[in-house]
């Protein structure tokens, strides 16, 4: 392989896109990946189906402690429609919209097809892979004529004109994400906003373990949160607490509030009936048992549990409900407070919150403003979106931007020797 070249550290979603676009610009590209095959998060996403993209995407749905304007510019650099066209036209992956969830999946429903198509695209563009290769650190050029040095765990060194860092964050460490890239960025002088597990299940009241497996669509709110937070979708009781898309999407609010020494209230409306509708229904149910009225619209186990928590006798006839009993039951049905106690951490987190502050990179090229020649993409940056393909959209967009810029910059240089440094 002849210089100039681009080294991409990490073969996850963002790294694969970066490698493909850098190689397509004519740069010699080599991808360094810790695992034996790369794309491990792609393989496990969507239960092995891979939710490639959301049905729609809005910058306001993303979370960042950095500049919202920079986030918007990065996301708009590669619109959703263009991303879908790339996967379908360039990679030959037909994407199908799942109506009930509004998510785009490969027609084959196989995450492996997505990962393999991306790896093949890198190879077709001229890129090469070094799997089972662990990077230990980066050394930036000391003078304008020097090159980047990448230190390997085996004691070897590689040099490059440009480096794309796609090492991910700390979530799902079994896929190879160990947070090393974040430490490297701090050592190079970048500001890294505090990290935390995001899109992760919450732990809760052990008494609710008896409801494990109960799943239903709900509306979950975070009263007092700024910006206003409300989401509708799946809610799941687990043996340790609460999960499902609504809980995962709200988990960062609970986690951040706990770190600040406060407690973010999360409330659940179990059906599409609001307070007024439930109140009217209960009053109109006559001699029917309250338990039957509630169980007709909720899973039996949950209905009985809510009656108990509202201190309403299970055999009470609706017509005999006292006003205070009806009020407590309506509150339990429409604004039930989730008794969360903690979270499941990075082990089960879909993504990492926090990361390299967005003002530390150029939003058009994702080149570091601190160490020129280094481009960042994917989860290492301070932004994440809700469940449903939004974080892949971020990975694809940032990977493409970083790869294009690194590839174009490297390809304009005069060729030279790119053999590993001894």
pLDDT digits (tens, 9 = 90+) for 118-176: 999 999 999 999 999 999 999 999 998 899 999 999 999 999 999 999 999 999 999 98
3-class state of residue 305 by DSSP: helix
Which pLDDT score is estimated for 20?
Answer: 98
For residues 300-313, average pLDDT: 97
Residue-range domains of the chain with CATH: 5-197+351-411 (3.50.50.60), 201-344 (no CATH)
Q: How many residues does the chain have?
A: 422
At residue 5, does pLDDT exceed 80?
yes
Q: Is the pLDDT of residue 415 over 90?
A: no
- In angstroms, the CA 143 to CA 355 distance is 28
At 422 the pLDDT is 38
Query: Where are the extended beta strands (E) located within 100-171?
Result: 103-106, 128-130, 135-139, 148-152, 157-160, 162-165
What pLDDT, on the 0 to 100 scale, is given for residue 420?
42
Sheet harboring 267-269: ordered strands across? 336-337, 267-269, 215-221, 230-237, 241-243, 202-204, 340-343
Cβ(137)–Cβ(151) under 8 Å?
Answer: yes
Query: pLDDT grade, residue 414 (50/70/90)?
Result: low
Q: What is the rounded distance in angstroms from the CA atom of residue 414 to the CA atom of residue 416?
A: 7
Q: d(Cα 174, Cα 114) in Å, to the nearest integer? A: 20
pLDDT band of 421, cuts 50, 70, 90: very low
The rounded mean pLDDT for the chain is 95
Bridge partner list, 198: 351
Per-residue pLDDT at 260 exceeds 80: yes
What is the band of 69 on the pLDDT scale with cuts at 50, 70, 90?
very high
Average pLDDT over residues 184-188: 97
- Say yes or no to pLDDT of 63 above 90: yes
Q: Give the pLDDT mean for 88-93.
A: 97
Q: Which residues contact 386 (CB under 8 A, 6 or more apart)?
A: 61, 199, 231, 245, 249
Nearest to 234 by CA among 242, 226, 223: 242
């Amino acid at each position: 392989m002849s210089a100039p070249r681009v080294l991409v550290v990490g073969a996850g979603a963002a790294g694969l896109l970066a490698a493909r676009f850098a190689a397509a610009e004519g740069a010699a590209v080599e991808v360094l990946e810790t695992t034996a095959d790369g794309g491990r998060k792609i393989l496990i996403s969507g239960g092995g189906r891979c939710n490639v993209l959301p049905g729609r995407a809005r910058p306001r749905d993303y979370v960042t402690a950095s500049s919202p304007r920079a986030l918007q510019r990065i996301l708009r650099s590669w619109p959703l429609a263009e991303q879908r066209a790339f996967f379908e036209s360039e990679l030959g992956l037909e994407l199908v919209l799942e109506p009930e969830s509004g998510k785009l999946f490969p027609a084959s429903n196989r995450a492996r097809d997505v990962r393999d198509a991306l790896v093949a695209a890198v190879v077709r563009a001229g890129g090469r892979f070094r799997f089972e290769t662990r990077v230990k650190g980066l050394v930036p050029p000391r003078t304008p004529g020097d090159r980047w040095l990448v230190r390997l765990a085996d004691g070897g060194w590689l040099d490059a004109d440009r480096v794309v860092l796609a090492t991910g964050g700390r979530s799902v460490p079994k896929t190879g994400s160990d947070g090393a890239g974040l430490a490297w960025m701090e050592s190079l002088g970048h500001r890294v906003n505090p990290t935390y597990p995001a899109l992760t299940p919450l732990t809760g009241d052990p008494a609710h373990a008896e409801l494990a497996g109960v799943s239903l669509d709900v509306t979950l709110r975070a009263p007092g949160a700024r910006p206003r937070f409300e989401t509708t979708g799946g809610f799941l009781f687990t043996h340790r607490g609460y999960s499902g898309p609504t809980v995962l999407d709200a988990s960062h609010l609970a986690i951040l509030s706990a770190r600040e020494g406060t407690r973010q209230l999360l409330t659940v409306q179990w059906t599409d009936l609001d307070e007024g509708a439930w109140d009217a229904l209960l009053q109109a149910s006559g001699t029917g048992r309250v338990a039957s009225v509630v169980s007709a619209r909720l899973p039996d186990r949950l209905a009985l549990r809510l009656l108990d928590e509202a201190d309403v006798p299970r055999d009470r006839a609706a017509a005999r409900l006292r006003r205070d009993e009806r009020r407590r039951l309506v509150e339990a049905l429409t604004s039930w407070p989730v008794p969360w106690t903690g979270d499941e951490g990075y082990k089960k987190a879909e993504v990492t919150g926090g990361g390299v502050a967005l003002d530390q990179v150029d939003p058009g090229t994702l080149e570091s403003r601190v160490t020129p020649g280094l481009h960042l993409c994917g989860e290492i940056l301070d932004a994440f979106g809700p469940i449903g393909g939004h974080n892949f959209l971020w990975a694809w967009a940032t990977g493409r931007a970083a790869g294009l810029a690194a590839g174009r910059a490297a390809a304009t240089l005069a060729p030279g020797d790119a053999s590993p440094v001894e």
